[in-house]
Amino acid sequence: MTISNGSFPGTRPRRLRTTPAMRRMVAETRLHPAELILPAFVREGVTEPVPLQSMPGVVQHTRDTLRKAAAEAVAAGIGGIMLFGVPEESKKDAVGTPGTDPDGILQVAIRDVRAEVGDDLVIMSDLCLDEHTDHGHCGVLDAEGRIDNDATLERYAEMARAQADAGVHAVGPSGMMDGQVRVVREALDGAGHQDISILAYTAKYASAFYGPFREAVGSSLKGDRKTYQQDPANARESLRELELDLAEGADMVMVKPALPYLDILRRIADAVDVPVAAYQISGEYAMVEAAAANGWIDRDRAIMETLTSVRRAGAGMILTYWATEVAQRLNRGE
């Protein structure tokens, strides 16, 4: 029988799928705990963690349980934690004062986590006003109720300095204001915080998958964010945003959401030589958990498959609410 090297029966790709050991050896994409970042919510004024109905297994932490979660993350070997503060409703106002108050819940949480884990975990903070404003938008509103881009940048500069003073390692400007990376970089450098890095939310789309997150941060939003977050129909626009963010001083860039925008993630990863992150957001998490709870999918396999797809598409870092759980599984060799 003549055997061809280029076709069946000489070529049988299934030979490399025969055993778990073989599949493991030839796997092209691997997950590692250090590539995972845990988004975590801390709520002011609560004495017990508050479970989120739309995100089973995720809570709004107390200060104490946040410290424990950070220590657990270090033990699991994950790369970082992204902190979101949820202030008391009575403290929210039109300009998001809790976001710049040294005693605001996010700044307090940064100090708590830094005291707990030091430099053993990259402490990141959400640099945006939506959690802190009574209107729920990511910026300051003008007299007609529209987002005032440049007035918002002034607030972002103040937030950057406040978070840096609290001890953060990296800030994540996420409001999609034009010029936000440059303004934050200048604010940090001007305050002597040249070593703090910027994870730019470069491609952040106006997605339907943010729904559960609104519960997580106690959002007061009415309306939508389509005038500043990107249109899901657009791809080239992300490359323009990427070019601007890099020119303005971004150290790392991110795509959000992850799964609906794997094509965008791939294009950005192919275009840059800086670290690329993707955020597996609340709606992505909720879909898997809900389907698994109904017995429609295998939860553990689905989690690993989604994360592998994000990694395969080009993300070197993944923000996911499963970060610690998955890291523990990887450490056990699962």
Residues with active-site annotation: 204, 256
How do 50-51 and 59-61 pair as beta strands? Answer: antiparallel
- Could you tell me if 153 and 179 are in contact, meaning their C-beta atoms sit under 8 angstroms apart? yes
User: What whole-number distance in Å separates Cα of residue 257 and Cα of residue 255?
Assistant: 6
Q: What is the 3-state secondary structure (H, E, C) of the chain?
A: CCCCCCCCCCCCHHHHHCCHHHHHHHCCCCCCHHHEEEEEEEECCCCCCEECCCCCCCEEECHHHHHHHHHHHHHHCCCEEEEEEECCHHHCECCCHHHCCCCCHHHHHHHHHHHHHCCCCEEEEEECCCCCECCCCCCCECCCCCECHHHHHHHHHHHHHHHHHHCCCEEEECCCCCCHHHHHHHHHHHCCCCCCEEEEEEEEECCHHHHHHHHHCCCCCCCCCCCCCECCCCCHHHHHHHHHHHHHCCCEEEEECCHHHHHHHHHHHHHCCCCEEEECCHHHHHHHHHHHHCCCCCHHHHHHHHHHHHHHCCCCEEECCCHHHHHHHHHCCC
Rounded to 5 degrees, φ, ψ at 195 are -85, -10
Q: Which residues pair with 127 in a beta bridge?
A: 173
Q: Which residues pair with 43 in a beta bridge?
A: 86
